[in-house]
Amino acid sequence: MDAFEPTPPEWTSQGIHAHEFCCPNCKASAMEAQGVWINRRSPVYTEDHRRKWQEFYQCQCGCVWWAWSNDRPPSNLTKPDILEDF
């Protein structure tokens, strides 16, 4: 399954909104999900004109949850921005 498929997988119809960026049932992280789909067809625009998307996760416990892309916590897999003093 490709997270960027234009058509949502059937399991996304069961999704509930998670207010923390983890499974609301068992608290597993998004990294532990068995399935992921990002709704790139319907972006929402924030007050500062940035786009955000619904990210759907199919947890190993059977719960399907979604959260906004801008609610995702920072990753330790990316390099931090380096600020230069002028």
Q: What is the pLDDT of residues 27-62, one digit of tens each?
A: 999 999 999 999 988 889 989 999 999 999 999 999
**Residue 82 within a domain:** no
For 66, the domain range is 10-71
Number of domains present in the structure of the chain: 1
Nearest to 64 by CA among 39, 31, 36: 36
**Residue 3 within a domain:** no
**Residue 5 within a domain:** no
Tens of pLDDT, residues 15-36: 999 999 999 999 999 999 999 9
**Residue 31 within a domain:** yes
Report pLDDT for 59. Answer: 98
pTM of the model: 0.81
**Residue 21 within a domain:** yes
pLDDT of 76 above 90 = no
Report pLDDT for 6. Answer: 82
**Residue 1 within a domain:** no
